[in-house]
Structure 1
Amino acid sequence: MAAGLGAKRLGKELSKISSSLPPGITLVSAENLEEWFLDIKVLDQNPIYAGETYRLKFKFSKSYPIEPPEVTFVKLSDRPIPMHPHIYSNGIICLDLLGSQGWSPVQNVESVCMSIQSMLTGNTKNERPPGDEEFVRANRLRPRDIDFYYHDNTV
């Protein structure tokens, strides 16, 4: 990542989240300003996610914060991809704030984590999005370049 607005902003964010994050969100690593890993937990009594911790990967472009980070869930031996109607089995998250239409530079790593945590908290369906297998097999786009259709989109 080139020096400039993005690097300066990420440096400030890293400094802030290294010292304080909301409950259930933990910084795992941020060895550079291009890729960070954070763990999140659902803190309520949602039975779908009881006792689970999930790993998020943030990839930042040179255009951050103008362009959203690429945020995906990472599968590890002790960190599954959460079951959710908006999370594909390859870790891609269908969330409007992660796309160019819903992203705003006022968002940051902490607010994205809190939005994803909230998305999980409110889930009542232990299922993948419709067409998960086909999407995972056929998609070649970066997550932020996928043009998801959101149910509340107007025609």
Structure 2
Amino acid sequence: MAGHFAAKRLSKELSKIRSSLPPGIELVSADNFEEWLLDIRVLDNNPLYQNETYRLKFRFASSYPIEPPEVVFVKLPDRPIPIHPHIYSNGIICLDLLGQQGWSPVQNVESVCMSLQSMLTGNSKNERPPGDEEFVRGNRLRPKDIEFYYHDNDV
């Protein structure tokens, strides 16, 4: 259940989203302040994602926007999970922006969608993350509880 601050923030975000969203992002449903569905499309000519639309599910904790939302791709008959080196076949996304370390309360639903669009736009590898099958088979954690290792952590 969204806390007062989260509900207030999400109410503002929803008003803005309903009035205008960047191209390639569409609100599907936002019946409450716990879970929203949005569709995104890649707008450039990346052949990996041409003519595809992807469904994102956002889940908000009562501490949003202090804590990041839980964001995953959802597989539907007409909405595949994009093949990308940072997207597992179960829809879990490995992106520092969605983790505790990379998240900032300045971010919002729209900026997350735009970041994911950009991540897809820049991809040229038609592959899943290393260890995808084992990860999908063995993972019991919620996406926000997974501690991904980011290669740029070495720097």
Q: TM-score, normalised by structure 1?
A: 0.98
2:10 corresponding residue in structure 1:
10
1:87 corresponding residue in structure 2:
87
2:38 corresponding residue in structure 1:
38
Q: How does 1:1-155 map to 2 (within 5 A)?
A: 1-154=1-154
Contact 2:41 / 2:54 at 8 angstroms: preserved in 1?
yes
SS in 1 for 2:26: strand
Q: Which runs of 5+ in 2 are unaligned?
A: none
Q: Which runs of 5+ in 1 are unaligned?
A: none
When residues 48 and 96 of structure 1 are mapped into structure 2, their CA distance, relative to the original with a 3 A threshold, is same
Could you tell me which amino acid in structure 2 is paired with residue 72 of structure 1?
V
Using the alignment, how far apart are the partners of 2:79 and 2:2 within structure 1?
A: 32
SS in 2 for 1:8: helix
Runs of 4+ in 1 over 6 A off after TM superposition: none
1:65-98 deviation digits (Å, cap 9, x = unpaired): 0000000000000000000000000000000000
Q: TM-score, normalised by structure 2?
A: 0.98
Could you tell me which amino acid in structure 2 is paired with residue 130 of structure 1?
P
When residues 3 and 101 of structure 1 are mapped into structure 2, their CA distance, relative to the original with a 3 A threshold, is closer
Using the alignment, how far apart are the partners of 1:2 and 1:133 within structure 2?
A: 33
Question: How far did residue 4 of structure 1 move?
Answer: 1.2
How many residues align? The count is 155
When residues 3 and 144 of structure 1 are mapped into structure 2, their CA distance, relative to the original with a 3 A threshold, is closer
- Between the aligned residues of both structures, percent identity stands at 82
